[in-house]
Structure 1
Amino acid sequence: MERVDEEMTAKALTILRAAGAETIEHPGGTLLAHLRRVGELLASWGARPALVSAGLCHAFYGTDGFPVALLDLGRRAELVEAIGAEAEALVHFYASCDRASSYRELADERGTFVDRFTGAPVFPDLGARRDFAELTAANELDIAAVSPEARARYGADLLDLFTRWRPLLSEPAWAHCLGVLGQPGRES
């Protein structure tokens, strides 16, 4: 990573620690450990720096699947200062997803994405949908890799989801998906 990215990572880790991420339980240890692994996984897949930073901070505003928010939405400027505007926008977009309404159609060009904060439908462009899919894959695959219970309970559904999202995922993300969840049509 470039020096600027290392500085952003250090700032992100500072704000994560200040928000208590290292004291919140999460599969595989603490929320901070999970966030670090997600950022590292995205980096290993060759993601651009803003997406890696978003992976490190993806749970700041809570998510549809993890309601603990480290920062109130009214304090978005603090995260912008730590990781930059593009990365923070990715974190906000990720946090805003109403999964039940959005996952099914994400790979469709005209698929609806529902903002869980406002209830409004949005129609993200291909780049935004790819970023979202890649970040979701990193998040869910990390949990499946560190938690045999989660993999047993959700693995088949995740494989089905990521198979539908295959056009949005990078080759390294898809390969990692198959490595963690198994080949379609075969026992994992």
Structure 2
Amino acid sequence: MPDRAVAWLRELGAAELAHPGGTLLSHLERVQDLLGSWGARPALRRAGLCHALYGTDGFGTALLPPGRRAEPAEVIGAEAEAIVYLYASCDRAASYPTLAAAEPSFRDRFTGAVHCPDLRSRRDLAELSAANELDLARIDPGFHREWGAGLLGLFTGWRDLLSEPALRECRAVLGDGTADGDGGQRAFG
């Protein structure tokens, strides 16, 4: 399935789209690999490979509109596509501050709908978010300088949602500095 997904992403133009560290496809593959190194289940790894299909709150370029969800579900599976949609639809400023709360409030940036994702979905969102941002922080020193402290604050605040390998990597890549006070609410990459 990963080979099929990579070929499909190439057809959609991900290998030609510029992104920090090369192309969007190379970023997507690095995120998938990072999730794999943390022991993520196959559906989450496939979601990591395709996480930017519908664009994101931090990366506006979409390979597909969210109205075509059946296509990626056929290529990567329904579970992985649901993770991709959750990640892409996340209004980060509205959703990130409460993600680890007992009663989180998630706002879908496409529809405006607000709901409370289940714990597994929130863990998937946190893990995928961490993998995405850590890849960018490794590749782009300017990104690391600008967003690293805020991301560290955000991810340590999500410690109950992140796997131990992910949290360890967040601390290793982003350092043990103090968050910049915004609680990680800005729209990162």
Within a 5 Å distance, the mapping from 1:130-145 to structure 2 comes to 130-145=123-138
**Whole-angstrom CA distance in 1 between matches of 2:76 and 2:63:** 15
Query: Where does residue 17 of structure 1 map in the other structure?
Result: 10
Report what 1:42 is aligned to: 35
Pick aligned residue for 2:65 from 55, 69, 72: 72
Residue among 71, 88, 91 paired with 1:95: 88
Cα distance in 2, alignment partners of residues 119 and 176 from structure 1 = 33
Aligned to 1:119: 112
Alignment partner, residue 149 of structure 1? 142
- Aligned pair partner of 1:58 in 51, 67, 74: 51
Answer yes or no: is the 8 Å Cα contact 2:149–2:177 preserved in 1.
no
Q: Structure 1 regions of 5+ residues with no counterpart?
A: 1-7
Normalised by the length of structure 2, the TM-score is 0.92
3-state SS of 1:22 partner: coil
Amino-acid identity (%): 62
Instruction: Verify the 8 A CA contact 1:50 1:86 in the aligned structure 2.
Output: yes
Q: 1:167 is paired with a residue of what secondary structure?
A: coil
Q: 2:74 and 2:93 mapped to 1: Cα distance?
A: 32
Give runs of ≥4 in structure 1 deviating > 2 Å: none
* Number of aligned residue pairs: 179
Q: Counterpart of 1:23 in structure 2: which amino acid?
A: E
Alpha-carbon offset, residue 74 of structure 1: 2.3
Per-residue CA deviation, residues 16-65 of structure 1 (Å, 9 max, x unaligned), is 10011011111111100000000000000000000000000000000011
**Over aligned residue pairs, what C-alpha RMSD do you find?**
1.1
Counterpart secondary structure, 2:53: coil
Residue 71 of structure 1: SS of its match in structure 2? coil
Counterpart code for 1:79:
P
Contact 1:22-1:31 within 8 A present in 2 as well: yes
Give TM-score, length-normalised by structure 1.
0.93
Give structure 2 stretches of 5+ with no counterpart.
Answer: 179-189
Deviation at 1:151? 0.3
Q: 1:23 is paired with a residue of what secondary structure?
A: coil
Shift of 1:141: 0.4
Corresponding residue for residue 173 of structure 2: 180
CA distance in 2 between counterparts of 1:32 and 1:93 reads: 20
CA contact (8 A) 1:62 1:70 kept: yes
Query: Does residue 109 in structure 1 map to residue 87 in structure 2?
Result: no
Please state which structure has a larger fraction of its residues in helix. Answer: 1
State whether residues 35 and 128 of structure 2, in contact with CA within 8 Å, keep that contact through their aligned partners in structure 1.
yes
- Could you report, residue by residue, the CA deviation over 1:76-114 in whole angstroms, capped at 9, with x for unpaired residues? 111111101100111011111000100001000201000
Provide the C-alpha distance between the structure 1 equivalents of 2:9 and 2:123, rounded to a whole number of angstroms: 25
